Chain A
């Protein structure tokens, strides 16, 4: 009980931003602040290659957490250690209250996994595949509902082998959520999607999240993380080098703005923490409209690239929310 309370207070501090999403009831807040993932000092090496090097990660119930990082940064290894596919060399991990290496089938029924790529079950129809996987879970959703949810109702009778890449991916999601998991792992779910398919897919994820499912999303697409994630964690060289809400990552919200305009001598730019007064000054200089004026702050991509570039040298010099939240 005491532990739960301690966990709660930590949770409250670290997830105040979640309050906007939380229902007002105390009970809901209590559940939201529970940690579904708590990993400390994860290590994994393959031969001489250190894939995960003292990684810490926490994820609150109901959160959509996105893992970002370059190829080979250790994202997939980390996720697989949390899913229970892979053993860690060192560190501790608690997922949904249990150690993934020791947890049994009941635990496996509480989390759903959507893997990177798979070409199995191709001689079954969509409806048959979903119904088949539903049979492994103690309290599955109705297969028809799940199929509807991922937008495959029209394809329910179609052979899996006949699906397009995007449809196939949505089936993967259906198979991952048919057991009504509390926590879903989505590993690069939209790789190779066209923009429209990607947006449809995002709606499926948002829908799940709205119902309170916790989602750990690995992705290469920064706009995907920005669109879906409550929080992103940037992994580089086997460590979390920064984490925070996308809008605040790496101190984005406090970063200097770049003001750019077309002056008498061509393009001019100025970096400033007070763009409003600069613009006001420019207005009086130009006596009205400032030609081709833009005011920008670093994009998530700017911050991300800086983080993975600078990670080896001084990861904490970036300000903002560094390390674990």
Chain B
């Protein structure tokens, strides 16, 4: 029951179709298909990102520029420590960068691709659906790594932020980056279903992010925030990512100004994990491959 009508179609088509009819393949070939398609998606996503040079430059430079501005306002050291605010800001903006690259970028991009038909077209191909998300993950993680590296190097040479000084601190730095990025990316994909149109996606996603950046100690030092506000921020992931970066980059005695006098790694992992799971469940239930106006 192979499906060839024309002499021009070579025999391999018959074999491929014969093999696959009714049987979506073994688990191993299924995994291979997902990986191959994800690699293809990731490659195309990155190619498109790096092609808009202005976007690349501004995305990578933004946290550093913000750091310069904030550090010029708060020049002194954090009371009772030798740590300068510029160094605290570096850790905060690392977290802010992860949030905007992963959350903002995806919330806006996915809403746009839903509206312009990209998602619908992909859903019509044999591409495994997961490949789309893994491709996005490859894209945002790459941007995250670049942005983090730029800011870390910039903070090191301009404001004397020390690189993680032990294997343990590197480990902390890496898991905070990866878990933070995954969490924010999932929240971004889930969020993409909320804006009514691609045009409204940016403002709709920007407002909550901006609020979080203020109350999580990104733009305003957490030591200067009212306690209630900072506690509210504790419900959301961003504050914990920032705290995780402080634990990896600032001296150990800095915990004495932290609200709980500790780095709270278990809580950080818990909050990021819970948000990831919630966002994943929400995304799976609400994700649409076609635009809102369509029927």
Which residues from chain A sit less than 8 Å from chain B, CB to CB? Answer: 28, 31-32, 46, 51, 61-62, 77, 83-85, 96-98, 104-106, 108-110, 113, 115, 117-121, 123-124, 128, 132-133, 135-139, 175, 179-180, 182, 211-213
Contacts and interface: CB of A to CB of B under 8 A. Distances in A.
Contacts of B124: 83-85, 108, 113, 115
A212 B5 contact: yes
Contacts, number: 109
A106 B126 contact: yes
A115 B117 contact: yes
A123 B48 contact: yes
A96 B5 CA distance: 13
A18 to B, nearest CB: 12
A121 B113 CA distance: 9
Contacts of A138: 16, 20, 126
Contacts of A118: 116-118, 120-121
Contact of B37 (A83, A120, A135): A135
B120 A115 contact: yes
30 contacts: A31-B4, A32-B5, A61-B5, A85-B123, A96-B3, A97-B1, A104-B24, A105-B24, A105-B126, A105-B128, A106-B17, A108-B124, A108-B126, A109-B125, A115-B117, A117-B117, A119-B117, A120-B116, A121-B118, A123-B51, A136-B37, A136-B125, A137-B125, A179-B125, A180-B13, A182-B3, A182-B4, A182-B5, A211-B6, A211-B8
Chain A contact surface mostly:
loop
A212 B3 CA distance: 10
Contacts of B285: none
A148 to B, nearest CB: 14
Interface of B: 1, 3-6, 8-9, 12-13, 16-17, 20-25, 33, 36-37, 40, 44, 47-48, 51-52, 113, 116-118, 120-121, 123-128, 289-290, 295
Nearest to A183: B3
A57 B121 CA distance: 24
A92 to B, nearest CB: 18
Contacts of A113: 121, 124
A89 to B, nearest CB: 13
Contacts of B120: 85, 115, 118
B24 A106 contact: yes
B109 to A, nearest CB: 11
Contacts of A136: 37, 40, 125-127
B293 to A, nearest CB: 12
A195 B51 CA distance: 35
Nearest to B295: A46
